[in-house]
A and B are shown apart, each in its own frame.
Chain A
Amino acid sequence: MSKSERPNQLFRNLNAKVASIPMILTALVVFVGGTAWTVLYSFTNSKLLPRLNFVGLDQYYRLWSTPRWLVSIENLLIYGVLSLVFSLVIGFVLAALLDQKIRFEDTFRTIFLYPFALSFIVTGLVWQWLLNPDFGIQHVVRSLGWESFSFNPLYDSSIVIYGISIAALWQGTGLIMCLMLAGLRGIDEDIWKAARVDGIPMWKTYLFIIIPMMRPVFITTLVIIASGIVKVYDLVVAQTSGGPGIASEVPAKYVYDYMFFAQNLGQGFAASTMMLLSVMIVIVPWAYLEFGGRKRV
């Protein structure tokens, strides 16, 4: 401030810069700094406290030879494919049904979307109760006379992740439906008229004309679903706490447990870096397509 002959470049627009300090700090310190810090410390053997004692890729070798991590990854893949496929299909079909100029559209939409307002904790606990083998769906069907009926996902380690996916789909498909509906509403009415004039059956119009036209909506939705999948944590904690045994563990829970319970920070950092890597694999190509393309226009 002392050597000012003409307004310095730094002080132009000063108010805006001051007002943006929280954003700049968040972007640089937390997002960039925090991420770099975690990645850096994932190469150390930090236990209870973070220490810069580098051990190369040891934590990663250990990570990939830990059965619990492998189970977590496998679960995440199954959960991911199920959520991706089913929420896209169900979301789109529901949106297409709601788009038929039906009555009570608002009522139906309100019903399909309300689970999205609930937290994963609430969702997990409700479904834990519904899938309870002694009182829930299995019990009810058996008491109707079908004694051998078995539907007990939460206590059967081979299918427990499907039980979690059911709850996740119940909670999340409403959002996908809303996004798809917004996409469908953005399609020009004339396209429909043209297809009708040409005598193309409705399902064909959807499959070969409308869906390709909705590509941007699908891509955004895909990114949203994918980034949600990696973060799945509370739902598992509430519904099964990772059990039975380690059958429903997920990576996010592995990270949390190693950081705050097992006091093995290095493992936690390595696992979270792997999570970051998997997100990057999805996000980077998308960001490149989305923003790289926009610059040229």
Chain B
Amino acid sequence: MKWIKLLLTKQSLPTVIAAVLIIVAVTLIAANTEFVWKSTAGPTIVPEDEGTNFTQPEKNPVLPEESGFSKVAESDVLSLKMDAKTGHFIMEDKRNNEVYYSYPDPKYWSKEEISKTWKQHLSSPIMIQYVDFSEPILNPKELSFTPGVDSIKDLKTIDGGFQLTFELPEAGFTIPVEVTVDGDYVQTKIIREGIKEDKLGLIWVRLYPFFGATHTDGQEGYLFIPDGPGALINFKDNQLNVNKLYDESVYGSDMVYQGLDNNRSQVSMPVFGMKSGSKGFLAVLNDGEAYANIVASPSGVFSKYNWVTAQMNFRSSFLQYTRKNFADSGFVDFNRDELFGSDRVVRYYILDKENADYVGMAKRYRQYLIEEKGLKKLEADTAGVPLHLTVVGGDQEKGTLANRYIKGTTTSEAEQMVKKLHELGVGNMSVTYTGWQEGGYSAYGRTLPVDSSIGGDSGMKSFVDFAHSLNVPVYLDTEYALNNTGAGGFEKEFAGVTNLAGQTIDVRMLYNEDNVSAVSDKFNLKSVKSDLEGFKKLGIDGLVVGRTGQELFSDYNTKYGSSRDEAKDVQVDILKAIQSSLGGVQGIKSNFYSLPYVHHIQNMVSDYSYDLFSDEAVPFAQIATHGLITYSFNYSNNRDENGNGFLREIEYGAVPSFVFTHADTSDFLSAYGIRFYSTKFSDWASYAAEEYKRFNETLGDVQNQFIAEHRTLAHNVKETVYENGKRIIVNYNTEPYKYGNLEVPAKNFIVLDEEAVKQ
């Protein structure tokens, strides 16, 4: 302590003070240089109705003359006519002589009141958004094909249709497209190879955006959007002063190009559709859909036309951070040096009169899944509806000195659970064990061995053997796409998802708000393959994959990176590898590209996003997939509303699912990863058995049956009909509903089999 005293002697005190002050000042200056506020651009929330810098047509925009169209191709059902001047086409459905225009319905053109700029967009076969990279503040603008200024080149008929190139000389874009008919669909394609740009950067292209667009004119009609299970936007005179439209990225937003979060359900199916009177179509994005947005604009937003289209993105915006520690300084930029790859193909399936509704659309999509994606009908399961049981092994919470392990269910307790349910009459079960790895649920990235606190590998093995003795398959829940433990040799600098700025992506998955690294798909593929042998030894029936098949992203990792389009294939490879080695894969809220390899989807979204412009959810996804795969919704013991949730599952043909722990729910009060309303098995066992019985009685014999019909009988009364004639009428109201001479009790349902229907 002498030195302090020495320093504080009278002579040296001023020196010491001066020295301290200088050090502080130097630090201040050094730190201050870091404080310079980088001038930043505002967010690119661009009003769509903004004029362009380019030549505007002097006359009022007009739609193409119908007389200018000439026939170029036909199939058994459709005939295709094309207008050489504008590149538009007209299609005739030979079954019922209905006409479909690639531009807004000319009947209502004279009544359209929107600004000239937008009328120009409406009449155009192509809409483009571009940005000028030479400007300091990037401000994307819209542009459309202007006859007289822009031109059509290389027009030629090809087998089944025509091909042409849109040339927009002022903006410098060249975009070749192709339109063909085959069977009951017309297919439009943007040929990626031929796209050229000059000074300006192309952001997106909407090809024939107003295909089938029509005014609200008393007809029954709606736009169909792939929101949750599918949702309808009814045609109405939308006069509310909100100009909001549906604009969602197919397969969810890209975490590398994170934009505004809006709390809507992810688009898991690359489809959209429209019904107007007796006309209707379903559009399926057949290629390049990972780069598409589905845009639906009800009447009254952008023009009085109801329109829905696929927007094909070629660039995407992201926030370029200028400091690492603080996520609050940065500016908006685009991926300037690349254009997203892949041709962009949309198929418009034209629906015949009796199928021109959402059920017809779903049925056509089912046919597409079978014919094009190779899905197969389920074999009849004699044991009845499977009950999906998710068992939580464990998790962690903050402890006194370090993280504390919370034991949820040991393997022997899980054995008791299965036994108990079996005794209570649950004949068919499928178990998913989650949080089984060392450290439990929130220890992402760890795989085998099983945590010794819940029984270890040997405990798991004996549980699997026991389950198999009751014919119950066991799946282990895995999350390869996240890592916060460094397990499996993961280092985020080498194998983490990386954005254009070279930063690795962290997600806040946990309640303690720790960062969890997102893992590159190609690294996952490697990890999965090396783990499969160990899984096989446990004798399990397969894996449950979380974000693989659910979360799609571009990845600029130099070693393991993949484009968003390629990532889809890598994820499919992962699913294939698991399937071929272990036999089964289940997904969680999976996107439909994983369907051929996933035989059950857990936690499927069963409700729409409650947008003000949407009107109701429809079981599109369920009609399309019932009988091909099985699906379950939110766990029965964690539903929003027990009664209504159960009815919804009966209506939509879901299988029951529960999540259980042997421990008290309150043990998980401060858990990092898992927090459910109520999971204690002993609270729920008898309820689960009872509910299972009702499920089994109702849906036991239709597990491999397609849904043939679905309709609304009255407000909150729905009817689902299976192909074998079984009818289920669900009444959500608090009053009974009269169905012929039968009565559907309040908040309940009735089942009619084929004989009963005939009487």
Query: Are A and B bound to each other?
Result: no
Task: Give the A-binding residues of B (Cβ under 8 A).
Answer: none
Task: Give the B-binding residues of A (Cβ under 8 A).
Answer: none
